[in-house]
C-alpha cells in the first residue's frame, strides 16, 4: 500500500524508494537485511552525497540544499546497514535517500533504532525493513523547497516477529528511551 502513491517508484536494487515530487523527498523505502552480509567486513570511509539522476532535474535535491538549514542530511536507508560493498554503500548516499533530519534525532535515538535493526537482522538471520517518512499537510521547507518530515517510522519484520517505532523529527525527544517510541505494528502492517 505504501508504494502505490509515488511520483516515482525507484528500484535501487538494494532497496525500493517511493519518491514524492511535491515533498522533494521519499515517503517510503523498503529493503531486506541479511545476517551473512551484515557480518562481513565493512567499509569505513563514507562516500560523497550524490544527486539522483533518475529524478527529473526540477524535483531533484542536492547536497548544498542542506547548508545552514538547521537540519542534517538524514539517511533513510542507513549507511551502516548497507556498507559491505561499495555499490550498496553508494546507493545510500544518493540524495533521494536523504531527508532533513534534526541533528540530535539523527545522532541519538534514530541511530539507536538503526543499530537495533542490524542486531535483529543478525539474530533472525534476515529482516525486512520498511521506513515511512511522514509529512504535515503543509510542511515547513528548507532550501530548494525540500519538505521537512514530521515523523519517521521504522517497521521491522522477521519470521513470526515484528517491531515498530515512530519518532518525531524534534530534538527534544533525542534522548528518550527507545521503548517510548514503540508502536503497535498493526497500525502499519496487516
- Residues designated catalytic: 75
Separation CA 103–CA 116 (nearest Å): 19
Q: Are strands 25-34 and 126-134 parallel, antiparallel or unpaired?
A: antiparallel
In angstroms, the CA 37 to CA 125 distance is 10
Largest interatomic CA distance in the chain: 44
Question: Is residue 29 classed as helix, strand or coil in its secondary structure?
Answer: strand
- Annotated ligand binding at 17? The verdict is no
Instruction: Report how far residue 179's alpha carbon sits from residue 113's, in angstroms, rounded to the nearest whole number.
Output: 10
Q: Which of 41, 140, 142, 18 is nearest to 89 (CA)?
A: 41
Query: Which residues have CB under 8 Å from 54's CB, separation 6+?
Result: 8, 10, 96
C-alpha cell at position 84: 559491505
DSSP-derived pairing of the beta strands 146-147 and 141-142: antiparallel
Cell numbers for 128:
525486512
Within a 10 A sphere around the Cβ of 30, how many other Cβ atoms? 17
Residues tagged in the binding site annotation for Mg(2+) = 106
Amino acid at each position: 500500500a505504501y508504494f502505490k502513491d509515488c511520483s516515482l517508484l525507484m528500484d535501487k536494487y538494494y532497496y525500493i524508494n517511493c519518491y514524492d515530487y511535491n515533498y522533494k523527498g521519499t515517503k517510503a523505502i523498503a529493503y531486506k537485511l541479511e545476517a551473512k552480509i551484515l557480518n562481513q567486513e565493512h567499509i569505513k570511509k563514507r562516500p560523497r552525497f550524490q544527486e539522483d539522476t533518475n529524478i527529473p532535474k526540477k524535483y531533484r535535491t542536492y547536497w548544498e540544499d542542506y547548508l545552514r538549514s538547521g537540519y542534517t542530511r538524514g539517511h533513510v536507508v542507513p549507511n551502516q546497514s548497507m556498507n559491505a560493498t561499495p555499490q550498496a554503500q553508494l546507493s545510500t548516499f544518493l540524495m533521494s535517500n536523504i531527508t532533513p533530519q534534526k541533528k540530535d534525532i539523527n545522532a541519538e535515538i534514530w541511530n539507536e533504532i538503526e543499530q537495533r535493526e542490524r542486531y535483529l537482522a543478525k539474530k533472525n538471520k534476515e529482516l525486512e525493513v520498511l521506513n515511512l517518512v511522514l509529512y504535515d499537510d503543509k510542511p515547513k521547507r528548507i532550501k530548494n523547497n525540500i519538505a521537512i518530515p514530521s515523523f519517521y517510522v521504522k517497521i521491522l519484520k522477521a519470521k513470526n516477529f515484528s517491531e515498530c517505532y515512530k519518532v518525531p523529527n524534534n530534538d527534544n525527544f533525542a534522548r528518550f528511551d527507545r521503548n517510548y517510541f514503540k508502536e503497535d505494528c498493526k497500525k502499519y502492517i496487516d
